[in-house]
């Protein structure tokens, strides 16, 4: 089988589950689509661009399938993930070659679905009842060699940010039982994992809707207590739900790394209101101050949406201003992309759309400013000694290994992969925009 994955960590996690489940039926992963008896594409629909990747992929996959059929063989074609959930039957109508279309909640049923798809075209976009949902353990067989691992703590999202498709494609928020999370972390550290990243769409609301469950902050403390956990990270955090207890954790837990991804989306209160983010610019800035008081070297990254319906020049200047005021080390920024069925479409119907050229010009300005800030943050690290968790060979240089600083910067330095999993002090010698170079300190 050949599985291609687009999108976020949730999809990567689901792909791990797919691999493990299908392995039970004898499917072995192959990098080469032309060798596969089953081709699965796990899709993302967060913006139009990722969604379009599905269509070019299917073009390729149909080619493989038709070539195979011309030789009297066959290959099964399946679409999974968020576009499958969103488009469902429409996809089947558009692509006659599709054998199987299934959404994120159907992942656990994949073995049965593949068997059925040998005889008929199959569509499964049903959501599982909250009471019946079972979180699978981290099972990606390929994850073995890495000292870092993702652990899912939550699925879905109960927020209704007006631009966002995720609540439609992933359903409501569900917290994974913390006992199970801690069990998985124990199993991972026994395998040599040193850094745990807790993942969910809105981790700060973890556990709040389950009687007797730990809160997110309590979960952080519980994970930190487990032997072998050297670093803890988490994503994604919603500023509204981040409370003083999580801020306090930055004082108490040295395992919590000094990097936080805290998506702000916009620096304008008017835009934040129309996005239904439920925080103000002031509340965001205050939170940043509190976090930095608790952890002075905290490196912040964020997400921006530029050109949201109704965004005026003044609104955008507020965003530029906030970018500088916080001094984000990095950010992901995108032009607003209208998503099917989302509440923000009403704003477009009202005529509030920002012209494409205006949005593009704003985005370019924001990204240029961000590059300058990123580079300044990197430059400021030259000469310092950083604790680096070694992850493996560097991508390009033989004899050079790479790892991450506590602030999540990639750093390359001469060394041997025998050090993978070790934390080494490294002096930073050179800064680039996206990475650092250094030398291990004897």
Binding site for ligand SF4 (CB under 6 A): 157, 159, 161, 164, 166-167, 201-202, 238
CB nearer to ligand SF4: pick between 65 and 277 = 277
Contacted by 337, from ligand SAH, ligand F3S, ligand SF4, none: CB < 5 to 8 Å by type:
ligand SAH
Contact with ligand F3S (CB under 6 A) among 45, 237, 266, 301: 45
Nearest to 149 by CA among 37, 62, 228, 60: 228
- Show Cβ contacts of residue 216 under 8 Å, excluding neighbours closer than 6 positions: 203, 204, 205, 206, 207, 246
Contacted by 167, from ligand SF4, ligand SAH, ligand F3S, none: CB < 5 to 8 Å by type:
ligand SF4
Task: Convert residues 163-202 into a mask of x (bound to ligand SAH by CB under 6 A) and - (unbound).
Answer: xx-x----------------------------------xx
Binders in 203-262 for ligand SAH, by CB under 6 A? 236, 238
**404 part of the interface to ligand SAH, by CB under 6 A:** no
For residue 111, CA distances in Å to 6, 33, 102, 363 come to 21, 20, 12, 44
Contacted by 336, from ligand SF4, ligand F3S, ligand SAH, none: CB < 5 to 8 Å by type:
ligand SAH
CB nearer to ligand SF4: pick between 238 and 437 = 238
**170 part of the interface to ligand F3S, by CB under 6 A:** yes
**140 part of the interface to ligand SAH, by CB under 6 A:** no
**153 part of the interface to ligand F3S, by CB under 6 A:** no
**263 part of the interface to ligand SAH, by CB under 6 A:** yes
CB nearer to ligand F3S: pick between 43 and 319 = 43
Overall residue count recorded for the chain in this entry? 442
**423 part of the interface to ligand SAH, by CB under 6 A:** no
CB nearer to ligand F3S: pick between 9 and 248 = 9
The one segment of 147-155, 164-172, 174-182, 370-378 that binds ligand F3S by CB under 6 A: 164-172
CB nearer to ligand SF4: pick between 202 and 405 = 202
Secondary structure of the chain in HEC code, one letter for each residue: CEEEECCCHHHHHHHHHHHHHHHCCCCCCCCCHHHCCEEEEEECCCCHHHHHHHHHHHHHHHHHHHHHHHCCCCCEEEEEEHHHHHHCHHHHHHCCCCCEEECHHHHHHHHHHHHHHCCCCEEECCCCCHHHCCCCCCCCHHHHHCCEEEEECEECCCCCCCCCCHHHHHCCCEECCHHHHHHHHHHHHHCCCCEEEEECCCHHHCCCCCCCCCCHHHHHHHHHHCCCCCEEEEECCCHHHCCHHHHHHHHHCCCECCEEECCCECCCHHHHHHHCCCCCHHHHHHHHHHHHHHCCCCEEEEEEEECCCCCCHHHHHHHHHHHHHHCCCEEEEEECCCCCCCCCHHHHHCCCCCCHHHHHHHHHHHHHHHHHHHHHHHHCCCCCEEEEEEEEECCCCCCEEEEECCCCCEEEEECCHHHCCCEEEEEEEEECCCCEEEEECC
Task: Convert residues 5-34 into a mask of x (bound to ligand F3S by CB under 6 A) and - (unbound).
Answer: --xx-xx-----------------------
Contacted by 303, from ligand F3S, ligand SAH, ligand SF4, none: CB < 5 to 8 Å by type:
ligand SAH
Query: In whole angstroms, how close is the CB of 81 to ligand F3S at the nearest point?
Result: 6
Q: How many residues belong to the site for ligand F3S (CB under 6 A)?
A: 13
**47 part of the interface to ligand SAH, by CB under 6 A:** yes
- Show Cβ contacts of residue 382 under 8 Å, excluding neighbours closer than 6 positions: 428, 429, 430, 431, 436
Contacted by 47, from ligand SAH, ligand F3S, ligand SF4, none: CB < 5 to 8 Å by type:
ligand SAH
CB nearer to ligand SF4: pick between 159 and 337 = 159
CB nearer to ligand F3S: pick between 153 and 436 = 153
CB nearer to ligand F3S: pick between 44 and 223 = 44
CB nearer to ligand F3S: pick between 276 and 365 = 276
Instruction: Report whether 170 contacts 104 (CB < 8 A).
Output: yes
Contact with ligand SAH (CB under 6 A) among 305, 322, 363, 401: 305
Query: In whole angstroms, how close is the CB of 199 to ligand SF4 at the nearest point?
Result: 12
428/411 Cα distance (integer angstroms):
8
**Residue 227 class from Cβ within 10 Å (0-12 exposed, 13-18 middle, 19+ buried)?**
exposed
Positions that interact with ligand F3S (CB under 6 A): 7-8, 10-11, 44-46, 81-82, 165-166, 169-170
Positions that interact with ligand SAH (CB under 6 A): 46-47, 163-164, 166, 201-202, 236, 238, 263, 265, 303, 305, 334, 336-337, 339
């Amino acid at each position: 089988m050949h599985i291609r994955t687009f999108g976020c960590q949730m999809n990567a996690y689901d792909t791990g589950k797919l691999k493990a489940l299908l392995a039970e039926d004898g499917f072995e992963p192959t990098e080469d689509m032309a060798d596969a008896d089953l081709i699965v594409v796990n899709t993302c629909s967060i913006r139009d661009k990722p969604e379009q990747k599905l269509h070019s992929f299917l073009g390729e996959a149909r080619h493989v399938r038709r070539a195979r059929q011309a030789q009297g063989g066959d290959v099964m074609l399946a679409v999974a993930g968020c576009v499958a959930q969103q488009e469902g039957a429409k996809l089947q109508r558009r692509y006659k070659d599709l054998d199987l279309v299934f959404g994120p909640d159907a992942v656990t049923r994949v073995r049965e679905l593949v068997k059925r798809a040998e005889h008929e075209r199959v569509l499964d976009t049903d959501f599982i009842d909250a009471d019946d949902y079972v979180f699978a353990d981290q099972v990606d067989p390929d994850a073995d060699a890495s000292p870092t691992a993702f652990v899912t703590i939550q699925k879905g999202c109960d927020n209704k940010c007006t631009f966002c498709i995720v609540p439609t494609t992933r359903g409501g928020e569900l917290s994974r039982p913390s006992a199970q999370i801690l069990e998985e972390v124990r199993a991972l550290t026994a395998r040599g994992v040193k850094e745990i990243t807790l993942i969910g769409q809105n981790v700060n609301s973890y556990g709040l809707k389950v009687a007797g469950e730990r809160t997110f902050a309590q979960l952080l403390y519980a994970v930190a207590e487990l032997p072998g956990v050297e670093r803890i990270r988490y994503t994604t955090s919603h500023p509204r739900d981040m409370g003083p207890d999580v801020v306090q954790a930055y004082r108490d837990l040295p395992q919590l790394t000094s990097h936080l991804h805290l998506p702000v989306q916009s620096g304008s209160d008017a835009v934040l209101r129309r996005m239904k983010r439920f925080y103000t610019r002031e509340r965001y800035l205050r939170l940043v101050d509190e976090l930095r008081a608790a952890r002075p070297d905290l490196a912040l990254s964020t997400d921006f949406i530029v050109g949201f319906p109704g965004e005026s020049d003044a609104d955008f200047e507020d965003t530029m201003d906030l970018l500088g005021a916080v001094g984000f080390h990095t950010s992901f920024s995108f032009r607003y992309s209208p998503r099917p069925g989302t509440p923000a479409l009403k704003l477009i119907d009202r005529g509030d759309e920002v012209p494409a050229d205006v949005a593009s010009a704003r985005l370019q300005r924001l990204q240029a400013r961000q590059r300058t800030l990123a580079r300044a943050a990197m430059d400021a690290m030259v000469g310092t000694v950083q604790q680096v968790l070694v992850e493996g060979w560097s991508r390009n240089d033989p004899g050079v290994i790479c790892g991450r600083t506590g602030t999540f910067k990639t750093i390359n330095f001469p060394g041997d992969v025998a050090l993978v999993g070790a934390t080494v002090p490294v002096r930073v010698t050179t800064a680039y925009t996206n990475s650092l170079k250094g030398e291990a300190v004897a």
